[in-house]
Amino acid sequence: MSLVLPRPASAHQNGAGIASMLLAVLLYGVMDALIKYQAERYPVIEVVFFRSLFALLPLGVLILRGGGWKALATRQPRLQAARAVIGFVSVVCFFEAFALMPLADVVAIGFAAPLFITALSVPLLGEQVGWRRWSAVLAGFAGVLIMVRPGSSLFGAAAGIALLATLSYALSIITIRRLSATDGNAPTVASFTCLSVLISGLVLPFYWVMPTPADWLMLIAAGVLGGAGQIAFTRAFALAPPVIVAPFDYANMLLATVLGFLVWGDVPTLPVFVGAAIVIASGLYIVYREAIRRGA
């Protein structure tokens, strides 16, 4: 779901936007696999700390290229703080879900974020949602129910954590929409990353487990890949309209399935595939209707 309103773009810009989105999918996909591997071996709060700490490296490059510390100025500090806290909750829940569930299952549930965003934008942003998009939201939530199968012992609390992560992520995106009226991307990304380092760093001494040399490298790589992926994802929507680049975000499901099988031997069940297909179709339709509504 884009944070940037659609605008006319050249074929070259569209191609660059698609390439940037595919790069973001690759970076995020590898990061997710590294996070899952580490979250199964170390406390989640420790993994969050290192992921956030080393994400500051690519963020620093973004700040320098954007004009230095002036790029971090914000006109809505309280809203920035609220967004950072909500984003932190989302990250912790996603990492916990990675530790408890197959990689592709968490990614599939995460695809419900556009559905939550569309539904919550009505009371929180005052947006008008027509019956077509409401139908897509309802169909998408049906797909989520197919995946998580309430009451089944297969997912249980793990699915609830993944849904909480997705809901808090959607709230974070809605908050970013309000921030985008006054602030650029740099202060929003920086406030979230720095707060995540601060909170997880304060709690870390109570959960600290010394990583092995190989795990140090993976924890550092996860942070750098996450920070770089966030930059590539943002750039994709800056280059091309959402209706062009958003569909390629769903390639993450294929990547997660492949990595999950190669590393853990996980194969998504039929209900996950069916539910994910419904959720993806609903999300794509919402993006399409949003483009029509805004005259893209």
**CA–CA dist 222, 229 (Å, integer):** 10
What is the reported pLDDT for 278?
A: 95
Structure-token match 């990675």, residue found: 98
**50 to 2, 95, 175, 218, 256: CA distances (angstroms):** 27, 12, 25, 10, 22
Phi, psi of 181 (to 5 degrees): -70, -25
**CA–CA dist 11, 196 (Å, integer):** 38
What is the reported pLDDT for 65?
A: 75
Q: Measure CA of the first residue to CA of the last residue in the chain; give whole Å.
A: 15
In a domain, 42, yes or no: yes
Q: Which domain holds residue 195?
A: 11-293
In a domain, 5, yes or no: no
Residue 69 per-residue DSSP state? G
Cβ(276)–Cβ(35) below 8 Å: no
In this structure, how many other beta carbons lie within 10 angstroms of the beta carbon of residue 231? Answer: 22
**137 to 171, 185, 195: CA distances (angstroms):** 16, 28, 32
In a domain, 6, yes or no: no
What is the reported pLDDT for 296?
A: 55
Q: What is the pLDDT along the chain (296 residues), one digit of tens a residue?
A: 333 434 445 677 888 889 999 999 999 999 999 999 999 999 999 999 999 999 998 888 877 776 677 778 888 899 999 999 999 999 999 999 999 999 999 999 999 999 999 999 889 888 888 889 999 999 999 999 898 877 665 567 888 999 999 999 999 989 988 887 888 778 888 889 999 999 999 999 999 999 999 999 999 999 999 989 988 888 887 788 877 888 899 999 999 999 999 999 998 889 999 999 999 999 999 988 888 876 65
What's the distance, CA 249 to chain centroid? 10
Domain count, the chain: 1
Q: 164, 40, 145, 31: which is closest to 90 by C-alpha?
A: 164
What is the reported pLDDT for 155?
A: 63
In this structure, how many other beta carbons lie within 10 angstroms of the beta carbon of residue 183? Answer: 21
In a domain, 1, yes or no: no
What is the reported pLDDT for 2?
A: 38
In a domain, 2, yes or no: no
What is the reported pLDDT for 152?
A: 63
**CA–CA dist 23, 232 (Å, integer):** 7
In a domain, 33, yes or no: yes
Q: 76, 95, 120, 115: which is closest to 35 by C-alpha?
A: 95
What is the reported pLDDT for 154?
A: 56
Q: 293, 284, 37, 258: which is closest to 140 by C-alpha?
A: 284
Q: 189, 226, 273, 268: which is closest to 30 by C-alpha?
A: 226
Phi, psi of 283 (to 5 degrees): -65, -40
